[in-house]
Amino acid sequence: MKYEYVICHYAEIGLKGKNRKFFEEKLVENIKKALPGNSFQRVRRISGRILIELIEEKVNETQIKNSLKDVFGIAHFSFAVGCEQKIESIKEKAAEILKDKKFKSFRIETQRGKKDFPLDSQQINERVGEYVLRKLKTRNPKLKVNLKKPKITCFIEIVEKYAFLYLRKIPGPGGLPVSVSGKAISLLSGGIDSPVASFYGQRRGIEIIFLHFTSFPFTKQSSVEKVKKIVEILNRFQFQAKLYLVPFTEIQKEILLKTKAKLRVILYRRFMFRIAEVLAEKVRARALITGESVGQVASQTLENIGAIEEAVKLPVLRPLIGLDKKDIINEAGEIGTFDVSILPGEDCCSRFLPKHPETRANLAEVKREENKLNIGKLIEEAIKKTKVVRIINHKS
């Protein structure tokens, strides 16, 4: 069977008026970016669905399936054939797509997006069911209609001027189309957690701008390569990305020299957040995302989180808050970032860790220590030396 279409369904909860059009347009745009360029003629909105018109001779099902599995917003999708919107044609087509399949029982399930079709869904099911049964019984005398537990279901959708038929619903990734929720800056360390946190942001429709702090010569070029690889992997969900590389060495040195050892990590983070906030304003990002999770390491206590977050005004999202480490590791494996995250490559903050880091930061003390530094100038210098890498994934 040669498929002519793919029909994509999305979860419609909360989609109304203008919102809906915006959502659908983004979804169309993202599907176009994800699909192999020569595989489709057109992608468009069609009453509550997205219709992909395939180039028949170029259909590579596996390739298309793999591309659509990364497009957030798709609840499920189906490879379909189409026919004229007449009951006779629909009957024929149903018999045709079922005739080479092996099954003992079946059912027809119709969805009518267009209410002026002369038959209702139930009537279509009955007419098509009867016809298929009669036609295929000659070869398979035991064939039955089974509404409760059929071996195969033939789905029919009546929309606009078309009738579409298909046999399988393939689950999509769910979520919201990337970029409908605006942008956020994700602080990406190269560890296991922050890539997963970025992924969760993308899944809720956030376009991620990636930000990584480097600390030459304390960290090596290989750490940067690692982070670039991670961004490439995550980029399959948003197709193009910016990665900011901010030199952190000077700030780190100042903190090491002038402030209490136990507060180092908290002060590093406050600086990271501030720099992220400055960049956020430049790119119009509305939130920061980190891979922090309460209590995962001694430093991630509620007190410390509070003392860090106080440095910025932007909301800080922590999508991993409810996950155990083993869940995060599983998820990183699924996304494909785990194997890169565990490659050797030191993070700037893992050097010079104090023996007894503060676990209950006191904000007044943190601020007192911090005020020994020229905060404004350090940030300005770091921003000046920031480099941006553009990551564009090439389609297969």
- Contact residues toward ligand ATP (CB under 6 A) are 187-189, 191-194, 211-213, 272, 290-292, 296-297, 299, 347-349
Q: Using the rule CB under 5 A, which residue among 67, 110, 189, 290 binds Mg ion?
A: 189
Q: Looking at 126-179, which runs of residues are DSSP E strands?
A: 144-145, 152-159, 162-166, 170-171
Closer CB to ligand ATP, 105 or 301, in the complex: 301
Could you tell which of ligand ATP, Mg ion, none binds residue 132, using a CB distance below 5 to 8 A set by kind? none
Distance in Å, CB of 373 to ligand ATP, minimum: 19
Closer CB to ligand ATP, 137 or 282, in the complex: 282
- Cβ–Cβ < 8 Å for 211, 186: yes
Distance in Å, CB of 348 to Mg ion, minimum: 10
Distance in Å, CB of 318 to ligand ATP, minimum: 9
Q: For residues 361 and 304, what is the distance between their CA atoms, to the nearest angstrom?
A: 5
Q: For residues 128 and 136, what is the distance between their CA atoms, to the nearest angstrom?
A: 12
Closer CB to ligand ATP, 165 or 311, in the complex: 311
- Cβ–Cβ < 8 Å for 229, 223: no
Distance in Å, CB of 158 to Mg ion, minimum: 53
Distance in Å, CB of 311 to ligand ATP, minimum: 13
Residues 313-352, interacting with Mg ion (CB under 5 A): 347
For residue 395, how far is the Cα from the chain centroid?
17
Distance in Å, CB of 222 to ligand ATP, minimum: 14
Could you tell which of Mg ion, ligand ATP, none binds residue 213, using a CB distance below 5 to 8 A set by kind? ligand ATP
Closer CB to ligand ATP, 52 or 349, in the complex: 349
Taken in order 287, 293, 295, 300, is the CA torsion positive or negative? Answer: negative
Closer CB to ligand ATP, 30 or 290, in the complex: 290
Residue matched to tokens 């700037």: 348
Could you tell which of ligand ATP, Mg ion, none binds residue 66, using a CB distance below 5 to 8 A set by kind? none
**191 contributes a contact to Mg ion by CB under 5 A:** yes
Angle between helices 264-283 and 249-258 (to 10 degrees): 150
Could you tell which of ligand ATP, Mg ion, none binds residue 348, using a CB distance below 5 to 8 A set by kind? ligand ATP
How many binding residues for Mg ion (CB under 5 A)? 3
Could you tell which of Mg ion, ligand ATP, none binds residue 194, using a CB distance below 5 to 8 A set by kind? ligand ATP
What is residue 348's DSSP assignment? Answer: G
**195 contributes a contact to Mg ion by CB under 5 A:** no
Closer CB to Mg ion, 347 or 369, in the complex: 347
Residues with Cβ within 8 Å of 95's Cβ and at least 6 positions away in sequence, in order, are: 131, 132, 135, 136
CA distance readout (Å), 139 to 96, 131, 365: 14, 14, 84
Taken in order 371, 377, 382, 386, is the CA torsion positive or negative? Answer: positive
> 3-state DSSP helix/strand/coil percent for the chain, to nearest 5?
40, 20, 35
Distance in Å, CB of 380 to ligand ATP, minimum: 19
Cβ-proximal residue to Mg ion, closest one = 191
Distance in Å, CB of 143 to Mg ion, minimum: 59
Could you tell which of Mg ion, ligand ATP, none binds residue 319, using a CB distance below 5 to 8 A set by kind? none
Residues with Cβ within 8 Å of 162's Cβ and at least 6 positions away in sequence, in order, are: 82, 83, 85
Closest by alpha carbon to 290, among 369, 281, 299, 363? 299
**175 contributes a contact to Mg ion by CB under 5 A:** no
Closer CB to Mg ion, 39 or 330, in the complex: 330
Bridge-based pairing of strands 288-289 and 183-187 is parallel
Distance in Å, CB of 291 to Mg ion, minimum: 7
- Cβ–Cβ < 8 Å for 347, 190: yes
Cβ-proximal residue to ligand ATP, closest one = 191
- 3-class DSSP assignment, residue 53: strand
Distance in Å, CB of 37 to Mg ion, minimum: 38
CA distance readout (Å), 23 to 14, 50, 354: 11, 11, 48
Closer CB to Mg ion, 277 or 347, in the complex: 347
Could you tell which of Mg ion, ligand ATP, none binds residue 345, using a CB distance below 5 to 8 A set by kind? none
What residues line the site for Mg ion (CB under 5 A)? Answer: 189, 191, 347
